[in-house]
Chains A and B, each alone.
Chain A
């Protein structure tokens, strides 16, 4: 069965520091992988997706993620955090059905 594990429910970084949010997945077939961001009191916004093309995927707001099959990982990174990046980030997987399976989310705090 497909599942997603996000290590670290809270991550704190200083403004300008590297952001690394971890996501590991379990899937019996090559998956489609997604990162969504949820700002306070808002819905889920698609940051980026992996659909079996390039393993390094670039998204909006300077975020990128690398699909590593050998590690079953799809970690999200951003070289330099900005205060406006503070939000909750969700990793999600989809196999050959319609539904997205979400991780439990990681709340990112950015300190000045």
Chain B
């Protein structure tokens, strides 16, 4: 069964460093998303991406964040200068023809020290 994959599973970085989180969505999907879950809190929407551009973003997704689909298979989230409060589990998701069912990857746990 097709699934969303994410790498790395765990990333530790120092405050101020840039990180890139990588995702491979399900191959025939057209809509891509990033969410995050700070420990003990709810899952929060960050950004959606369709047709090679951002279709919606939350107030969390400020200038420090960017997304890219560099090729036909990968979807990345970059944080330019990490802060302690960026520590969270980051989930990538994708959906098919219509943005109904979103399928989530296993997540990348980002720890900023």
Contacts and interface: CB of A to CB of B under 8 A. Distances in A.
Interface residues of A, number: 22
Contacts of B105: 43
B42 A100 contact: no
A100 B103 contact: no
Specify the main secondary structure of chain B where it touches its partner.
Answer: strand
Interface in B82-113: 91, 93, 99-107
Contacts, number: 52
Is the interface on chain B under 10, 10 to 19, 20 to 34, or 35 or more residues? 20 to 34
Interface string A98-111: 11111111000000
Of B4, B43, B104, most buried by chain A (CB within 10 Å of CB) is B43
A51 B101 CA distance: 10
A45 B104 contact: yes
B103 to A, nearest CB: 7
Given A49-B100, A98-B99, A99-B45, A42 B56 contact: no
Specify the main secondary structure of chain A where it touches its partner.
Answer: strand
B66 interface: no
Given A43-B106, A90-B43, A98 B101 contact: no
B48 interface: yes
Contacts of B104: 36, 43-46
Interface string B73-89: 00000000000000000
Interface of B: 4, 31, 33, 35, 41-45, 48, 50, 55-56, 58, 91, 93, 99-107
